[in-house]
Amino acid sequence: MTAWQQHEHELYGWLLKQSGSPMDADDLLQETFLRAIRQQSKFCAIENARAWLFEVARHLVIDNSRRQRTLLPLHDDLAMAQGELDAVDSLASCLPRVLERMAQSDREILRHCDLEGMKQADFAVRHGLTQAATKSRLLRARERLRQQLSLDCQVRLDETGRVCCFTPVVK
């Protein structure tokens, strides 16, 4: 772990500059260190340990940035108007009935990826699919759901493509 000791200070400085936060820099440095430890003897055999450490740190910075971007609160002017929320909430009562009538494979991919937030890559691995196949299946399932919602719930969209209202069709 001499390589770690040689580059720790430089790596911390770079992480601090990238993250802008001493706490984030500490967290990212610790995660980089943990990943080096997990490599065990392989880390010691790396020819350019500095490059490896900075590459791992760079990926961690990118991941951290993505996580923070998704957690930013919406400004009031970007939040949905109450009417839009009401329409979407009302549509939620129609969704389970429509999903129940869809093919099992469509229900499964929509439930996992859209409703439960599973990453497409994780779904692909779990079901023995390629990421491209998973993406295609999900897009086709969403299109079938959209068509079924239009038929069964008479969904109407406003000029921006948002759900404005719907009328459930009694069947």
Q: What are 19-32's pLDDT values in tens digits?
A: 998 999 999 999 98
What confidence category does residue 168 fall into, taking pLDDT thresholds of 50, 70 and 90?
low
Q: In DSSP terms, which residues pair with 163 in a beta bridge?
A: 157
| pTM of the entire predicted model | 0.46
> pLDDT tens-digit profile of 96-124?
888 888 999 999 999 899 888 899 999 99
Domains of the chain by start residue, with CATH:
2-68 (1.10.1740), 82-165 (1.10.10.10)
How big, in percent rounded to 5, are the helix, strand and coil portions of the chain? 70, 5, 25
| Contact indicator for 148, 142 with CB cutoff of 8 Å | no
